[in-house]
Structure 1
Amino acid sequence: MSGRIKDGKFVYKNQDSLNKMQAFYDKTLASLDVPYSEDYFETSFGQTHCLLVGDKDKTRICTIHGGNGITTLNLKLFLPLLKDFCILAPDVIGMPGKSEPYRNISRRKDEYGLWINEVLNHYGEEKISFVVSSYSSAMFLSFAKYYPQRVSSALLLVPSGIAHGPILPMLGKMVVPFIKYYSNPSEKTLDVVIETMGGKGDETWREFFDLMMSSYKMEMKPPKEYSKKEMAAFKAPLLIMASQKDIFFPADRVFANARKIFTGPVTTSEIDSMHLPSAEVMVEVCERAKEFFEMNENLSEYLKETPSINFSHPMIEAKIKELQEKSDSQIDYIKRAYEFVRDEILHSWDIKAKVVSKNAAEVLKNGTGICWTKSCLLAALLRGNGIPSGISYQKLTRADDDRDGYIIHALNTVYIPELQKWIRLDARGNKATVHAQFSLEEEKLAFPAREEYAEIDYRDNNSDLDKRLIKILNEVDVVMNIRTDFDII
């Protein structure tokens, strides 16, 4: 234990209670039978104990146990992930475990986020994926609020911080039994808690609930819930898994509010579980998490900023904020961004523009661009909001037939996390003969590829504008003179 001045509440009845909890910690850690190393280090909120579990050569992810929970049983839940990941697992200060046993962290002041930041700094992790559940979801969101750039992606399981269930049932079925058990433990009251929480038939969880409710001063203040404004800068992909049977954070309320709060990619999945999922359900959860993390690693190329897709430009950032404020959901944001580029940014050929816009920011500034750079602008508006987007090409005739050669036409690919699929959108701009529309199902593009004229729809998905097209844009003075008599692939 550190020698810092304690200004928070000691969270155990007495020293003997602390010793019993730490003995339980050691016993359950040994029962996992996994390789690990442990470390103690100082933070602004007291000494922190942390485990690094599994093969250290594998990709690291960070998990944090829930409120009034304990790291070893949290690891038991997520044990299947050790096949593919090395898990960083700190004990939360002021909760069961081996970190400082004083409640020094304020949820109201978002100090959990500050503490998580110090933990990652200790391990030299600049950016990492998270696996959090219950109360630790709100802890994670306090971190994501202030350090959004440090989150690669995250699984939020039966999460707090987004929405909660009806208060009266929670008070009657959980809070009152918790208080009652602390002063007068009984098997009957313990059964009531387990019946509502989950963990029925698991003697390890039963032993922990007994220890936690009889010898530990529980954190009874509800986790903070976050607003769309607080989460505005956070764009990392989220997988949110919740259950309608969860008395604390029911799926319908969580999913509905998540679509309002988060403007980045959100995938939701309902599980059949109490608040504490069974081992069988956790196998499914961990498999989904693995697929989710791997998928988002593959999507990272479609979220990067490039000289052509320069979404950190102040004008683009301002437009993103404007579109966010008008949007009710991620799909609504995509539709609004698409229709803005399609309708408000004029196609340079249609107006015979004298200016050549060379990248996304110039297109927005000039109010005009050809399909190549209009696609860059739409990609910038999406990537800048955490939505993966790429560029696809067609080889089309310059005129109604092939008498004047061919031109490369560009459109966008967009990944829809909620639907777990890519779609294509064509923001070229409509006119009498062009009727492109936003569609999540059947494509409604500007042009069909006509076989009789040897036109080609490449149906490709590129993370940046083709270098040959960039070279042309930098060399040409008049857009009407652009020619691309080559195959893009």
Structure 2
Amino acid sequence: MKSRFKTLEGKQALYDSYDQLLHLWDVPYEERDIETRYGQTHLIITGDEHNPPLVLFHGTGDNSAIMWIYNIQALSKKFYVIAVDTLGGAGKSEPNEHYSKDFVPHLWIDDILNTLAIHKTHMAGVSYGVYLTLSYEIYNPDRVEKIICMASFLPVKGLSIKYTLLGMRSILTFFPEVLRPNEKNALKLLRKLGSPLSEENTENNETFKHFLYILKYSQPERRKFTTYELSALSTFKEKALFLIGNSDPIAYHSSYIQFFQDYEFHYKIIKRAGHSINQDQPEIINHEMINFLLNDG
């Protein structure tokens, strides 16, 4: 099976940086590795276990340590948070041979929830993480309370060629910088994605260093997507909120917005935010998440 990292030294450097980021979370946390049918899955768990559970899924080319660093303090005060390192990504989860052959997201998430004895939970995802949450909700609606979907679009079957072209545009966003992963290109890519890190002094910045390590040392993952009939996706519209940055080169487009309006999905456009929406505007996103999931006002 193809290695997730280019070198063992790079893997160790990335893992060391991962651990440093967790210290910067500045909340009590527990790391757990659980066995699933598709391999060992790494979890970061924080918050009071008596609070409502909230399962978080990061995007492609990320991991939980970097994805939720600006959100975890607020979320862990209100929820029992389980941040999942996606299999095949740049985190600490280790896929097995079944992952590359027949990965089925809702079965994998079932394994996670069953191991943790969580019957029903809120879920939130960014980008590819949205696809995972929606895939689970379609097959297990009784186990999902509410969903926050950030920086993503619905995986609808049979849409026009326009949406296919928009999907290709999203992939091209990462080129050519991803082909030459150095500090200069990492900053350029962050600017494309709208990240505030691109405007900060990156010297001695642990978060930027970790992003650079992901580009330099991890292998890009080819994700397999399943599209669904609109009728299946429409069943959860009352319990899902889509949050999209107005500067997102991937998820923000007039055609997508029109789709949400036409089919009456709940959505909000977040100003001064790009694809890294939860990091661009963390206070706004934290408020929107807590308010929608808990009706907290």
**What range describes the TM-score normalised by the shorter chain of this pair?**
0.7 to 0.9
Matched residue SS, 1:250: coil
Kindly state the Cα deviation for residue 9 of structure 1 after the two structures are TM-superposed: 2.4
Larger Rg computed on CA atoms: 1
Q: CA RMSD in A?
A: 2.8
Kindly state the Cα deviation for residue 55 of structure 1 after the two structures are TM-superposed: 2.3
> Which residue number in structure 2 is paired with residue 46 of structure 1?
39
Kindly state the Cα deviation for residue 83 of structure 1 after the two structures are TM-superposed: 2.2
Q: Is the 8 A contact 2:59 2:126 kept in 1?
A: yes
Which of 111, 117, 142 is equivalent to 2:110?
117
Q: Is the 8 A contact 1:37 1:53 kept in 2?
A: yes
Q: Is the 8 A contact 2:169 2:250 kept in 1?
A: no
Between the aligned partners of 1:115 and 1:85, the Cα distance in structure 2 is 22
Between the aligned partners of 2:225 and 2:247, the Cα distance in structure 1 is 19
Kindly state the Cα deviation for residue 104 of structure 1 after the two structures are TM-superposed: 5.2
Q: 1:278 to 1:111 in 2, by over 3 A?
A: closer
Matched residue SS, 2:284: helix
CA distances 1:109-166 after superposition (whole Å, capped 9, x unpaired): 6712221111111111111111211110011111112111111001111124448673
> Which residue number in structure 2 is paired with residue 100 of structure 1?
94
Q: Between Structure 1 and Structure 2, which shows a larger proportion of helix residues?
A: 2
> Which residue number in structure 1 is paired with residue 276 of structure 2?
276
Q: Is the 8 A contact 1:60 1:128 kept in 2?
A: yes
> Which residue number in structure 2 is paired with residue 82 of structure 1?
76
Kindly state the Cα deviation for residue 236 of structure 1 after the two structures are TM-superposed: 5.3
Kindly state the Cα deviation for residue 102 of structure 1 after the two structures are TM-superposed: 5.7
Q: Map 1:350-429 onto structure 2 (within 5 A).
A: none
> Which residue number in structure 2 is paired with residue 291 of structure 1?
291
Kindly state the Cα deviation for residue 204 of structure 1 after the two structures are TM-superposed: 3.4
Matched residue SS, 2:124: strand
TM, length-normalised to structure 2: 0.84
Listed as ranges, the gaps of 5+ residues in structure 1 are 1-7, 299-489
Q: How many residues align?
A: 282
Kindly state the Cα deviation for residue 46 of structure 1 after the two structures are TM-superposed: 0.6
* Counterpart amino acid of residue 122 in structure 2: S
TM, length-normalised to structure 1: 0.53
Between the aligned partners of 2:250 and 2:103, the Cα distance in structure 1 is 21
Kindly state the Cα deviation for residue 187 of structure 1 after the two structures are TM-superposed: 3.0
Between the aligned partners of 1:106 and 1:77, the Cα distance in structure 2 is 32
* Counterpart amino acid of residue 268 in structure 1: Y
Q: Map 1:181-196 onto structure 2 (within 5 A).
A: 181=180, 185-196=181-192
* Alignment pair present for 1:127 and 2:120: yes
Which of 3, 11, 18 is equivalent to 1:25?
18
Matched residue SS, 1:67: coil
Percent identity, please: 21
Matched residue SS, 1:77: coil
Q: Map 1:440-451 onto structure 2 (within 5 A).
A: none
Q: 1:259 to 1:138 in 2, by over 3 A?
A: farther
CA distances 1:450-473 after superposition (whole Å, capped 9, x unpaired): xxxxxxxxxxxxxxxxxxxxxxxx
> Which residue number in structure 1 is paired with residue 217 of structure 2?
215
Between the aligned partners of 1:35 and 1:168, the Cα distance in structure 2 is 40
CA distances 1:206-261 after superposition (whole Å, capped 9, x unpaired): 21221111111112447544431442554651111102311111153434334567
> Which residue number in structure 2 is paired with residue 368 of structure 1?
none
* Alignment pair present for 1:238 and 2:240: yes
Q: 1:224 to 1:103 in 2, by over 3 A?
A: farther
Q: Is the 8 A contact 1:110 1:142 kept in 2?
A: no
Q: 1:134 to 1:215 in 2, by over 3 A?
A: same
CA distances 1:304-362 after superposition (whole Å, capped 9, x unpaired): xxxxxxxxxxxxxxxxxxxxxxxxxxxxxxxxxxxxxxxxxxxxxxxxxxxxxxxxxxx
Q: Is the 8 A contact 1:11 1:94 kept in 2?
A: yes
> Which residue number in structure 2 is paired with residue 140 of structure 1?
133
Between the aligned partners of 1:102 and 1:255, the Cα distance in structure 2 is 38
> Which residue number in structure 1 is paired with residue 258 of structure 2?
256
Between the aligned partners of 2:280 and 2:223, the Cα distance in structure 1 is 31
Q: 1:138 to 1:259 in 2, by over 3 A?
A: farther
Listed as ranges, the gaps of 5+ residues in structure 2 are 157-162
Q: 1:124 to 1:280 in 2, by over 3 A?
A: same
Kindly state the Cα deviation for residue 105 of structure 1 after the two structures are TM-superposed: 3.5
* Counterpart amino acid of residue 284 in structure 1: I
Between the aligned partners of 1:175 and 1:283, the Cα distance in structure 2 is 30
